[in-house]
Amino acid sequence: MEFKFHMPTRVYFGRGCIGKNVEELAGLGSKALIVTGGQSAKISGALCDACSALERFNVGYTIFDRVENNPSTDTVKIGAGEAKQAGADFIIGIGGGSPLDAAKAIAVLSANDMEPEQLFTNSFPNKPLPIIAIPTTAGTGSEVTPYSVLTRSDLQTKKSFGNKDTFPVIAFLDPHYTQSQPVNVTINTALDAFSHNMEGYISTRSTPVSDILAAEGIRLFGCCLDSLKIGVFTLEDRENMLYASLLGGMVISQTGTNLIHPTAYNYTYFKDIPHGKANGYLMAEFLRFNYEAAKDKVENILKLTGFESIDAFAEAIAYLTGEAPRIDEAEIAQYVAIAMTQRGIHTNIRPVQSEDLAEFLRKI
């Protein structure tokens, strides 16, 4: 047995966790840049709670609320410009995966004289500004990962960067913030969290510790399946989904993502499909593809989620995602070529060749 486990983020989970730990939120510096997408940070109450905490400790702040879904390198460059102009010495990201990922990029660019494209070298002369992450969706897990996923229009895909310095210093997870999310966002983000746990579980980089976390995250998705199907959520469901998302983030912070994410990015980039839903399209085939190579783990996923077969699993996931858009052979070739350039695809337990992935996509 040989493994590494590094998860340096201080996590506060539970109702009112910001209010109960205001000195933590306000203690990282004297001027914050708050990075949000504009909507869920306000509606959820998270932005208000963060601003109140900062005001109570006389910590100044500027709000950058222009982060779009699947943020671009241009957006983070603008955000870093605002952080520098404001003299921010720490960054607070509030929202779904997009604002949290943008916050990490802005934290690096604010502390360094570099172009956003250089982020992907994962080598930064100066340490990023400290980051606080406050998720308002239960899916990304970005609050406990070093990864920031940005859209690269030059490469026609999403690409991630991150190193040990881009983990948020502190994460506040209040399940109440996720209650304002609409049903479709709740379903798509739950699928994303589930995907992180599954991909990390069936990865060549999985470890004994990451497997414990992944198995629990997978089980919690199974507990929430009935609620996801009917689109009605109790506070306990919200807690379970946020906890599963946290666990999924901890898992991929050790293992990275695997086959599903790099392949699914194509559906998001070319077909504008939400990230979690795009992952969902690929899940059942992912289990079939890995069945022989990782039989025990695939069977455990089925057991933990309450299914007797991959076919039954496929039906339940398809109920949540709907049908994947049809893609032709030229698109399949394009998707495969792009996905094969990403590191994650080469960490699947069963090795993936281009022709395997093309066949995989034909079955979706």
The minimum distance between CB 261 and Fe ion, in angstroms, equals 6
CB of 256 to Fe ion, least distance (A): 11
Report 183-202 residues binding Fe ion (CB under 5 A): 192
Q: How far is CA 125 from CA 9, 84, 92, in A?
A: 22, 17, 22
The closest residue (CB) to Fe ion is: 192
Q: For the CB of residue 30, give the shortest distance to Fe ion in the complex, in Å.
A: 34
Provide, rounded to whole angstroms, the least separation between the CB of residue 192 and Fe ion: 4
Question: Counting contacts by CB under 5 A, is residue 101 touching Fe ion?
Answer: no
Neighbours of 153 (CB within 10 A): 10
Contact between residue 171 and residue 136 where contact means Cβ atoms under 8 Å apart: no
The residue among 90 and 147 lying less far from Fe ion, judged by its C-beta, is 147
d(CA 46, CA 43): 8
- Shorter beta-carbon distance to Fe ion: residue 110 or 253: 253
Instruction: Report the distance separating Cα 347 and Cα 93, nearest Å.
Output: 29
Rounded Cα–Cα distance for residues 86 and 208 (Å): 44
Nearer to Fe ion, 174 or 192 (CB): 192
Closer to Fe ion by CB, 143 or 192: give it. Answer: 192
| 272: DSSP letter | -
Which of 89/192 has CB closer to Fe ion? 192
Q: Which residues contact 300 (CB under 8 A, 6 or more apart)?
A: 215
Residue 74 has which token pair? 């241009």
Residues in 255-294 that interact with Fe ion by CB under 5 A: none
Our CA angle for 323, 325, 330, nearest 5°, is 145
Distance CA 14, CA 55 (A): 22
CA atoms within 13 A on the CB side of 320: 33
Nearer to Fe ion, 51 or 364 (CB): 364
Q: How far is the CB of 276 from Fe ion (least distance, A)?
A: 7
- In the complex, the smallest distance separating the C-beta of residue 89 from Fe ion, rounded to whole angstroms, is 30
By CB atoms closer than 10 A (0-12, 13-18, 19+), residue 270 is middle
Total residues at interface with Fe ion (CB under 5 A): 1
Site for Fe ion in 53-72 (CB under 5 A): none
Polymer length of the chain: 364
CB of 272: closest distance to Fe ion in angstroms? 16
**Nearest approach, Cβ of 19 to Fe ion (angstroms)?**
29
Query: What is the pattern of x (binds Fe ion, CB under 5 A) and - over residues 138-177?
Result: ----------------------------------------
Residue number with CB closer to Fe ion (192 or 239): 192
Nearer to Fe ion among residue 110 and residue 263 (C-beta): 263
Task: Please say whether the beta carbons of 64 and 79 come within 8 A.
Answer: yes
- Run of H or E including 33: strand 31-36
Give the binding site for Fe ion (CB under 5 A).
192
